């Protein structure tokens, strides 16, 4: 199953595009990371891709078929979407929340069947939150909640998974757990699109990076091609260094980046460093 974004543009108000001319195509069984700073239009793009909002121009193709012509339940049978902001509402149990993932497969006048219950239970087990099954969704931690939402999306049995900054409120351990889970799901046959503003997440977990800045499209390609010191400077407006080390266990080259320490770069000129070059 492939998802292709063609020349996508969107605006809330005429003449002020949130993003424009975005093009990319998912890679089968891998993670595509949409990378960009806060407010660059990532979330809006993902909502348009999931069919929640409608593009002003361009198109989104699922296996060559435009989502504009598809019914909502049809889209939801293929695309699973996990929002970033999420208010919990009523005190449903974790199981009840995961079961809601079955909605696109259940008729309007029907309730979940035994088969749906089994699928929800399997999804809970697959994500490894069986111990939370009967807890209240409102009373578990942010990391656990993210895993429960992933379970809900798995119960939906989509072919493509969309995650909007899945790690935004999580601590280091939970970030790693969630991203590992995402990567595992991709390896098991899901195409994943996730947004992030951490370049290192893209280095570690994704096979393709789409770089966005101010609603525009900068580059797309492998992390190595796209996440360059020059590009990071363009989108974040700060000097960065990219480091390469050999992983002592696997022997593979691992890349990561960090903001350059300006006190070492230009020790005599600390206080008027680099504001004028900022693109914003």
Partner 1 sequence: MKKPKRGIIILLVVVPIALAVLSLFIGKYHASPGDIIGMLIAKIVPSFPHNSSPVLQTAILQVRLPRILLALLVGMSLAISGASYQGLFRNPLVSSHILGVASGASFGAALGIMLSASPVVVQIMAFLGGIIAVGLALLINHFNRVSSTLTLVLGGMIIGALFSSLVSLLTYTADPNTKLPAIVFWLMGSLAGSSTRALAFAIPPMLAGILVLLMIRWRINVLSMGEEEAKALGVNTNALRITIVICCTLVTSAAVCVSGVIGWIGLIIPHFGRMLVGPDHKILLPACLAIGGAYLLLIDDIARTATTSEIPLGILTGIIGAPIFAYLLTKGTRWS
Residues lying near partner 1 in the complex (CB under 8 A): 47, 50-52, 71-77, 79-81, 83, 86-87, 89-93, 96-97, 100-101, 103-104, 106, 108-112, 134, 136, 156
Pick 96 or 262: Cβ nearer partner 1 = 96
- The residue among 168 and 200 lying less far from partner 1, judged by its C-beta, is 168
* 29 DSSP β-pair partners: none
Closer residue to partner 1 in complex, CB, 102/213: 102
In the complex, least distance from residue 213 CB atom to partner 1, rounded to whole angstroms:
25
Q: Which is closer to partner 1, CB of 19 or CB of 81?
A: 81
Residue whose CB is less far from partner 1, 47 or 233: 47
d(CA 135, CA 48): 33
Paired tokens of 18: 């949130």
Using N-to-C axis directions, what is the helix angle for 114-127 and 142-155, rounded to 10°?
140
Shortest reach from residue 88's CB to partner 1, in Å: 8
- Secondary structure of 48-113 as H, E, C letters: HHCCCCCCCEEEEEECCEEHHHCCHHHHHCCEEEECCCCCCCCCCEHHHHHHHHHHHHCCCCCCCC
As measured in angstroms, the least distance from the Cβ of 51 to partner 1 is: 7
Helix axes 172-187, 142-155, angle to 10 degrees: 10
Residue 55, token pair as written in the block: 């593009």
Residue 92 Cβ vs partner 1, minimum distance, rounded to whole Å: 6
**Do residues 182 and 8 lie in contact, with contact meaning Cβ atoms separated by under 8 Å?**
no
In whole angstroms, the minimum distance from the beta carbon of 212 to partner 1 comes to: 21
């Amino acid at each position: 199953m492939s998802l292709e974004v063609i020349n996508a543009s969107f605006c809330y108000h005429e003449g002020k595009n949130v993003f424009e001319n975005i093009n990319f195509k998912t890679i089968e069984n891998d993670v595509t990371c949409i990378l960009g700073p806060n407010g660059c239009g990532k979330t809006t793009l993902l909502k348009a891709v999931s069919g929640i909002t409608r593009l002003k121009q361009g198109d989104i193709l699922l296996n060559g078929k435009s989502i504009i012509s598809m019914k909502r339940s049809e889209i939801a049978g293929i695309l699973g979407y996990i929002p970033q902001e999420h208010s919990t509402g009523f005190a449903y149990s974790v199981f009840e929340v995961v079961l809601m993932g079955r909605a696109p497969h259940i008729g309007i006048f029907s309730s979940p069947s035994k088969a749906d219950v089994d699928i929800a239970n399997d999804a809970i087990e697959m994500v490894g939150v069986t111990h939370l099954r009967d807890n209240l969704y409102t009373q578990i931690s942010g990391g656990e909640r993210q895993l429960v939402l992933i379970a809900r999306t798995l119960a939906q049995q989509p072919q493509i998974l969309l995650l909007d900054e899945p790690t935004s409120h999580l601590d280091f351990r939970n970030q790693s757990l969630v991203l590992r889970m995402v990567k595992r799901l991709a390896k098991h046959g899901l195409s994943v699109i996730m947004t992030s503003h951490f370049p290192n997440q893209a280095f570690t977990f994704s096979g393709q990076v789409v770089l966005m800045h101010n609603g525009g499209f900068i580059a797309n390609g492998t992390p190595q091609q796209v996440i360059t010191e020059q590009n990071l400077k363009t989108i974040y407006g700060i000097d960065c260094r990219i480091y390469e080390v050999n992983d002592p266990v696997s022997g593979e080259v691992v890349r990561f980046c960090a903001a350059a320490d300006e006190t070492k770069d230009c020790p005599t000129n600390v206080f008027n460093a680099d504001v004028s070059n900022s693109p914003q």
